[in-house]
Amino acid sequence: MTLFLAMLLDAALGEPRAIWDRYPHPAVLMGRVVGALDRRFNAGRARKAKGVAALVAMVLGACGLGHLIALVPDFGVLEGIVAAILLAQKSLVDHVRAVATGLRQSLPAGRQAVAMIVGRDTAALDEPAVARAAIESAAENLSDGVIAPAFWFLIGGLPLMLVYKITNTADSMIGHRTERHAQFGWAAARFDDLLNLIPARLTAVLIAVSHGWTHARPILRDAPLHRSPNAGWPEAAMAVVLNVSLSGPRAYHGVMSEFPWVWPEGRRNAGPADVEAACRALWRAWGLMLVLVGCVALI
């Protein structure tokens, strides 16, 4: 029931700027911890072992903090507030919808909006590519920012939710196959893959079922084509329910990558209306997750 109320609170308020313009968001604090460990220990020999030790320290710290918050004798109020802050449904929808709004104004405005939520090069994207990037980000971040933290709260309360969030933050910062982070960030990347294994597939089910899609074969066919072992699942589900081809070629740091298309049978001329449809899909999947959480609360 704490999670149920936290999901409603996040959906209603999102991330009020009046608060986060004055105080650091927990995600920012987590990023500072990861950054400090990276600067202090990612040097010299045994970088992989140091990365494992850093991840263990972050996980234990997050788990311990979650237990301390849960022990506060306030009938779970503080725990629910922290959980709501760590969910990102409304802010995700707002950021994705901003891309549709930008595209309706001009292509440069759409590029500027989508650059806030994706890591690929956006300067040369045409309108369909901008729209596809926004839809892909919507699907992947629904899993990472909403369903996965909610899932781990259901499994182990706020401690496991914080463990997931610190791991996901670490993966986004140091879990890259670059010369600097290939060794030190290895543990964070692998643990994040493990923690997202079930939530990513659950997200795909929520997207598909909330749209009445019960034909699993296209999702099972296309999801493994993604470069990530987990991100392909919600993206494949979003592609089929919107009938829009996703993924495909894109550039990172000036280097073009020829990724395969997800749902190649779909339309490739995506536009603002499809981005809006993705936002509605986010709410439908969220609503189904809320129903599942409510059912668990009543058991």
In three state form, how does the secondary structure of the chain look?
CHHHHHHHHHHHHCCCHHHHCCCCCHHHHHHHHHHHHHHHHCCCCCHHHHHHHHHHHHHHHHHHHHHHHHCCCCCCHHHHHHHHHHCCHHHHHHHHHHHHHHHHHCHHHHHHHHCCCCCCCCCCCCHHHHHHHHHHHHHHHHHHHHHHHHHHHHHHHHHHHHHHHHHHHHHHHHCCCCCCCCCCCHHHHHHHHHHCHHHHHHHHHHHHHHCCCCCCHHHHHHHHHCCCCCCHHHHHHHHHHHCECEECCEEECCEEECCCEECCCCECCCCHHHHHHHHHHHHHHHHHHHHHHHHHHHC
d(CA 229, CA 193): 7
Which amino acid is residue 35, in one-letter code? G
pLDDT score of 187: 98
Reported as a pLDDT band with limits 50, 70 and 90, residue 164 is very high
pLDDT score of 190: 97
Q: What is the pLDDT of residues 111-149, one digit of tens each?
A: 999 999 998 888 889 999 999 999 999 999 999 999 999
pLDDT score of 105: 97
pLDDT score of 257: 77
pLDDT score of 198: 98
pLDDT score of 217: 94
Q: Poorest-confidence range of 27-31, 89-93, 193-197, 255-259?
A: 255-259
Instruction: Please state the φ and ψ torsions of residue 250, each to the nearest 5 degrees.
Output: -160, 165
pLDDT score of 265: 94
pLDDT score of 92: 98
pLDDT score of 120: 84
Question: What b/e sequence results for 179-189 when a residue is b if at least 16 CB atoms lie within 10 Å of its CB, and e otherwise?
Answer: eebbbbbbbbb
Q: What is the pLDDT of residues 36-52, one digit of tens each?
A: 999 999 999 999 999 99
Average pLDDT for 10-34: 94
Residue 253 CB burial class (10 angstroms; 0-12, 13-18, ≥19): exposed
CA dihedral of 73, 76, 80, 82, whole degrees rounded to 10 = 20
Q: What is the pLDDT of residues 48-107, one digit of tens each?
A: 999 999 999 999 999 999 999 999 999 999 999 999 999 999 999 999 999 999 999 999
pLDDT score of 108: 96
d(CA 26, CA 147): 18
Whole-number average pLDDT of the chain: 95
Task: Give the CA diameter of the chain.
Answer: 55
Reported as a pLDDT band with limits 50, 70 and 90, residue 13 is very high
- Residue 110: count other Cβ atoms within 10 Å of its Cβ: 29
| 238 CB-near residues (< 8 Å, 6+ apart) | 135, 136, 138, 139, 207, 244, 246, 278, 281
d(CA 86, CA 163): 11
Which amino acid is residue 47, in one-letter code? R
Q: What is the pLDDT of residues 171-225, one digit of tens each?
A: 999 999 899 999 999 999 999 999 999 999 999 999 999 999 989 999 999 999 8
Average pLDDT for 19-25: 93
Q: Rg for the chain (alpha carbons), in Å? A: 19
Indicate whether 256 pLDDT > 90: no
pLDDT score of 254: 73
